[in-house]
Amino acid sequence: MPGKRVPEPERREQILAATYDVAAEHGLWETTILRVAAAANVSPGLVIFHFETRRQLLLALLDHVLATTTVLLVDPAVAALPSPTERLIAVLRREMSRLTSEPLRIRLTFDYWMAGVRDAAIREKLQTEFARYRASFRPLAAEVLRAEPDRFADVTPEGLAGLAVSLIKGCAVQSMIDAERFDVDDHLAAAVGLMTNVRPASTTV
């Protein structure tokens, strides 16, 4: 008796989940249709039916990874904080903790970044999503600058948003380089120190 037919969207998600598992364990370069099919417990032909080629499969996986990595959500508790600087710091804490808790996802993102050096489609997807992620910090950054214009003299919302993203991505990189000794609280404390304790240098001669 044949088993219950799985709807195509559900089967596609099953294959993508298996692709993520294979890529996270073996790296992007060793992710093949045969390995994915075995991990998803489907035939290679079914993988090809849904994605046509290995390249299309990896591009679909990249879309999935970016959709669940470069997304900034500000929950109500953070939005309710009284100070714009407190809100930005709370978002930094959340994003640093989120990204460093998923080292395989970050490693896979870097695999794609290396692939993007030679692959224009991958590079464009990465650049578009990273730019969107950085742009999502601009409203938070603009609120900080309006609240503390003296502290952040000559700083633009784009500059502060870029710094915030750099701190988060740097945190993710450090957690990969030295996983045993890395401490997200130490990293956050240093980031907060840069944002709240450093005053503009005097231009008086």
Distance of CA 98 to the CA centre of its chain: 9
Give backbone dihedrals phi and psi of 92, rounded to 5 degrees, phi first: -60, -45
At 204 the pLDDT is 42
At 74 the pLDDT is 80
Within 13 Å of residue 97, how many CA atoms lie on the same side as its CB? 8
Give yes or no for residue 10 having a pLDDT over 60: yes
Q: How confident is the model at residue 2 (pLDDT cuts 50, 70, 90)?
A: very low
Tell me how crowded residue 158 is: count the other CB atoms within 10 A of its CB.
14
154-192 pLDDT per residue, tens = 899 999 999 999 988 888 888 888 878 888 888 888 888
> Hey, where are the domains in the chain?
8-60, 69-196
At 152 the pLDDT is 84
56-93 pLDDT per residue, tens = 999 999 999 888 777 787 888 888 899 999 999 999 98
Q: Which CATH code for domain 8-60?
A: 1.10.10.60
Mean pLDDT across the stretch 30-35?
96
38: left (phi over 0), alpha (psi -120 to 50) or beta: alpha
How much is the pTM? 0.80
Give yes or no for residue 108 having a pLDDT over 60: yes
**Mean pLDDT estimate for the chain:** 87
Alpha helices in the chain (DSSP H): 8-26, 33-40, 44-51, 54-67, 76-79, 84-100, 103-116, 120-135, 138-147, 157-177, 184-196
